[in-house]
Amino acid sequence: MMHINIYSKKRWTRRQFMKLTMLAAVQAVTGCSPGEMTIKGKLAHHTSEGFRNYPPVPEPATPGFSFLFRRVKEGLSETPKVPENHVINEPLALLKLKDYSGSQAVTWIGHSTYLMKLGNKNVLFDPFFSDLASPLPVGPERYVPPGISLAKLPPVDIIIISHNHYDHLDAKTIEAMPGKERIHVFVPLGLQSFFAKRGYQHIQELDWHQSVVLEGLKMTALPAVHFSSRGLGDRNKTLWCSWAVHSDEKSCFFAGDTAYSPTIFKEIGNRFGSFDVAIVPIGAYEPVNVMKPVHTNPEEAVQIANDVNARLIIPSHWGTILLTDESPWEPPERYRAFAGKNGIGDDRACIMKIGETRGF
């Protein structure tokens, strides 16, 4: 999902700009895989070319010219006006984080990046701290900074990655992260080398339904409905997943990036019983024919949280970068309205501010 912005440092011809825009948009929003033939004796989501969604889901429509034109137009326009109550300034965010230093708590850094205190570990989900979510000098650009900068984070003990898209796996952030020699990294199949090349020493790949225990924390990789890609020719070569993380006292479900499944998330709820908190994606859902097979809308995100029996629902994947056609401030409105309509109050279906820390 590419929102194009132009750096003034480099001039782009109209042909170059349109070519990059169309390539980036098609690459980012379509989940087509070149190989869908399963391998005999392998799990159903493994294919001869990599991985696929299972149960199978319809392929998203290829974005048309009108979608690409809108992304270009948005990229040339000013960044959206940010409501005053959307972001906490960093000094206050750090003070609030310190207030919860002895508690089980979660901090929204922005987009899908969350810092969570579970047990005695600081767990960082899908770290994205860069200005751009793109391999190019154009792409989705932040319109709000991280709630807490990378340099001022408390020491990170664990990094958990849902998939390899640039707004969830940020190479610059991973490269700059302090403490590589001691941080434990948990990733879907195929992403071990990404971290090894950048100096990490404790990396573990997991397939769906595999678990690992580290000093009182149990991490379980679980299915999601999405796709993977970072460039040409690597479509679905690495796996994507959601995660369950359990300490002795608390539990978290992190959906990562996913479409809704009528079976997958109910099965997760049945397997684990309940979660203290679920982090679910509410943004990047328009146009529906392109996005629905790979992203949830706000109503579907709430349904996922209900399916996994979450006590606290935290929306992610919004309020940070422009990815698709909906207004940046529509997702939380729809989320709040649907939750209220279904008898879910603000104390359960919360909306966090960027930089906010909340105990659970």
Share of the chain above pLDDT 70, in %: 84
Q: Write out the DSSP string of 11-29.
A: ---HHHHHHHHHHHHHHHH
Q: What is the mean pLDDT of residues 347-360?
A: 97
Peptide bond into 55 cis (omega under 30): yes
Q: CATH: 3.60.15.10, 2.60.40.1080, 2.40.10.10, 2.130.10.30. Which one for 84-359?
A: 3.60.15.10
What are the structural domain ranges in the chain? 14-76, 84-359
3-state secondary structure of 347: coil
Q: Kindly give the pairing relationship between strand 113-118 and strand 105-110.
A: antiparallel
At residue 280, φ and ψ (nearest 5 deg) are -130, 145
- For residue 317 the two structure tokens come to 């994947």
Express each pLDDT in 43-67 by its tens digit. Answer: 999 999 999 999 998 887 776 666 6
- HEC per residue, 152-176: HCCCCCEEECCCCCCCCCCHHHHHH
Alpha-carbon span 269 to 210, nearest angstrom? 16
Q: What is the mean pLDDT of residues 342-356?
A: 97
At residue 25, φ and ψ (nearest 5 deg) are -65, -45
pLDDT of residue 301 exceeding 80, the answer is yes
pTM of the shown model: 0.89
| Greatest pairwise CA separation for the chain in angstroms | 57
* CA distance readout (Å), 265 to 54, 244, 273: 12, 12, 11
Beta bridge mates, 208: none
Express each pLDDT in 70-96 by its tens digit. Answer: 655 565 556 889 999 999 999 999 999
Express each pLDDT in 141-195 by its tens digit. Answer: 999 999 999 999 999 999 999 999 999 999 999 999 999 999 999 999 999 999 9
